[in-house]
Each structure stands twice: as structure tokens, then as C-alpha cells.
Amino acid sequence: MAMLEVKDIYKSYGKVPILKGVSFTMEKEETKVIIGPSGTGKSTLLRCINQLSPPDKGQVWLDGEEITNPKTNINKMREKIGFVFQDFNLFNHLTALRNVSIGLEKVKKIEKDAAQKRALQELTRVGLEAQVGQYPAQLSGGQKQRVGIARALAMDPDVILFDEPTSALDPELIGDVLDVMKSLCGKVAMLVVTHEMGFARNVADEIIFMEGGIIVEQGSPKEMFTNAKMARTKEFLGRIGALYGEDETGG
């Protein structure tokens, strides 16, 4: 049984359909990258998985429990699903350390000292042990996002969802964040929506190509980049390749 199973997800905003039946599965410690043009519902898909935007139809299962079932305690499930936001969403009133420890303290009910010790470990892991006392507004974008990753990691999630984690960053700051993500490979399952093709190519176990609210094609990076079956996939990868050249950011 797969760790995460997404079954036939539909979602519309008003009358505009965004997702039109998306299904895939993920195994433990697998890294999956979702690519595709803007506005094809990639971010919506992530938000449907942890129910920040509940899907109109379809099911999401994690470890044999149905998240989409209204009877499921969604808060308990979200503890197991880390989420890294495009615009960070760090808690503005808390230091970096408290941003990472607050979930442990208030949700997992871990004692404050222990929680902060753990938070310090996670911040060290992402290279920010010097910034623990700083507030979000005092951090650079790259540092903010690494705090965001540490915050997700501290909860010991089964899977972390990354919603375009580098797209709000200045180009010179992207590398640090991608390095941290790469270091997590094989330690925790990651589902990453990104436009960083270098990362997708070098780090992903599998790539999902989405367009128009459906999965057009999925496969290993090698298959997708050298031998895509669908014309739309080829066209997209060709276009993005032309745009970024042989982009090896984070590669």
C-alpha cells in the first residue's frame, strides 16, 4: 500500500475548473516533482492534499487513513503533512526559533525546553543556527524559506509538500534553499511543485507533468527529459529549456 494516495481529485473555483481528476501515489521517502505551466492547478493540488482547500470530489489517503473523510481529525493528519509555502508565511510575531518550536509546543504538546532544543537542531540542519533569535522581517528571503522548511521538518512529517518554494526568491538565494531540499532526499517523502528544472532532473525519483488540470505524463527524469511520449510534455520541456538554457541551478 502506498504511503500517500491521491484519487481522482476535482476542484473548481466558482465555475472555473482547476483540477479535473488527478490521481497518483507516493511511497515512503520518495521525491516527486510536479512541473507544468503556470495556472494548471499544481499549487491547488497541494492544497487539496492537506485540505487547506478541500477538493470538490475525490479522495486523499495517508498511511491507510482517508484525509478527505469529514470524520477524520484533519489537524492530526496535518501534523504528518509538512507544508512549505511559496511566500514563506512565517509567523511574524515570533523569532525563527519560536517559529519552528511553536508547532511542537502547542500541537504536539512537547515541553518548551525540549521543543526549543529540537527547533535549534532543525535550524542548524538548514544552516541557520546563527539566526535563531531573529524575527522574520530581519531575515533574507532564502533564510525565511529555510526557517519554513525547518518548521515543517520539526513536526516529523511523513511527507512534505513544497509549493514553489523558490519562486519568490532572488536568483542568488535559490541555491541555498535547493541545497537544503536536496539534503533531505531519501530521508522524508517530498512532493515538490517547482519550475527549477535542474532540481527536477537531478533530484526527483519521478516527475509529474501537469497541464490544464490533469496529469499529462509521469515518469523518471531520464524518460521525461530524453524520451517524453506526449507532444505536450516535449513542447513544454523544450520551451522551458530554451528559456533557461541547460539550466543546472541546484543540479
Partner 1 sequence: MALETLIESLPSLLDGLIVTLLLTAVGILLGTTLGVVLAAGRSYASRPIAYLILIYEKVLRGIPLLVLFFLIYFGFPQIGINLDAFTAAVLGLGLRSSAYQAQIYRGAINSIPEGQIHAAFSLGMSKLKAIRHVIIPQMLRLSIPGWSNEFTILLKDTSLAFGIGVIELMRQGRYIQVRDSSLVLIVFLLIALIYFILVFSANRIMRVVEKKYQMAGYQAEAHR
By CB under 8 A, name the binding residues for partner 1: 50, 52, 75-79, 81-83, 85, 87-93, 102-103, 106-107, 134-138, 151-152, 155
Query: By C-beta, is 89 or 202 nearer to partner 1?
Result: 89
Q: How far is the CB of 240 from partner 1 (least distance, A)?
A: 27
* CA dist., res. 94 & res. 102, Å (int): 9
Query: By C-beta, is 13 or 91 nearer to partner 1?
Result: 91
Query: By C-beta, is 152 or 207 nearer to partner 1?
Result: 152
Query: By C-beta, is 152 or 193 nearer to partner 1?
Result: 152
- Residue 115, all three cell numbers: 521543543
* CA dist., res. 11 & res. 180, Å (int): 32
Q: How far is the CB of 239 from partner 1 (least distance, A)?
A: 30
For residue 246, what are the CA distances in angstroms to 144, 201, 232, 238? 28, 11, 20, 11
Q: How far is the CB of 91 from partner 1 (least distance, A)?
A: 6
Query: By C-beta, is 104 or 180 nearer to partner 1?
Result: 104
* CA dist., res. 81 & res. 107, Å (int): 13
* CA dist., res. 211 & res. 20, Å (int): 10
Q: How far is the CB of 53 from partner 1 (least distance, A)?
A: 10
Place of cell 528571503: 141
* CA dist., res. 243 & res. 143, Å (int): 27
Contact between 211 and 37 (Cβ < 8 Å): yes
* CA dist., res. 154 & res. 143, Å (int): 16
Q: How far is the CB of 199 from partner 1 (least distance, A)?
A: 22
